[in-house]
Amino acid sequence: MSDKEHRFSDILWRIYQRPTPPEPWVDGGNLPWNEPAFAQRMLREHLDQSHGAASRVSGERELQINWLREKLGVAAGYQILDMTCGPGLYAVEFGRQGCQVTGVDFSPAAIAYAREYAERQGVAVSCSFLEQDVRTATPSPASFDAALFLYGQLAVFRREEALALLQKIATALKPGGRLAIELLYQERVDKHHSSWWFADDKGLWGDRPFLHLGERTWLAEEKISVEQFTIIDLETAESTEINLSDQTYAAPEMANMLRDAGFSSVDVYERWDDLPLYDAAEWIVYVAQK
User: How many Å apart are CA 43 and CA 258, to the nearest integer?
Assistant: 31
Q: Which residues contact 153 (CB under 8 A, 6 or more apart)?
A: 83, 84
pLDDT value for 5: 79
Which 3 state secondary structure label does DSSP give 50?
coil
CB atoms within 10 A of CB 153: 21
Domain with CATH 3.40.50.150 in the chain: 56-187+250-289
> In the structure, what pLDDT confidence band is assigned to residue 222 with cuts at 50, 70 and 90?
very high
Average pLDDT taken over every residue of the chain: 96
Which 3 state secondary structure label does DSSP give 188?
helix
Residue 218, pLDDT > 80, answer yes
pLDDT value for 217: 97
How many residues are recorded in the chain? Answer: 290
pLDDT value for 29: 85
Q: Which residues contact 253 (CB under 8 A, 6 or more apart)?
A: none
For the chain, percent of residues with pLDDT exceeding 90 = 92
Q: What is the pTM of this model?
A: 0.96
**Dihedral sign from CA coordinates of 228, 19, 240, 14:** negative
Note the Cα 121 to chain centre separation in Å.
Answer: 24
The alpha-helical segments, DSSP class H, found in the chain are 3-16, 36-47, 58-71, 89-96, 108-120, 159-172, 251-260, 271-274
Residue type for 97, please?
Q
Contact call for residues 231 and 242 (beta carbons, < 8 A):
yes
Residue type for 191, please?
K
pLDDT value for 20: 87
**CATH number assigned to the domain covering 56-187+250-289:** 3.40.50.150
User: How many Å apart are CA 37 and CA 163, to the nearest integer?
Assistant: 31
Nearest to 277, CA basis, from 48, 42, 44, 62: 62
What pairing do the DSSP bridges indicate for beta strands 194-200 and 173-184?
unpaired
pLDDT value for 240: 94
> In the structure, what pLDDT confidence band is assigned to residue 114 with cuts at 50, 70 and 90?
very high
> In the structure, what pLDDT confidence band is assigned to residue 1 with cuts at 50, 70 and 90?
confident
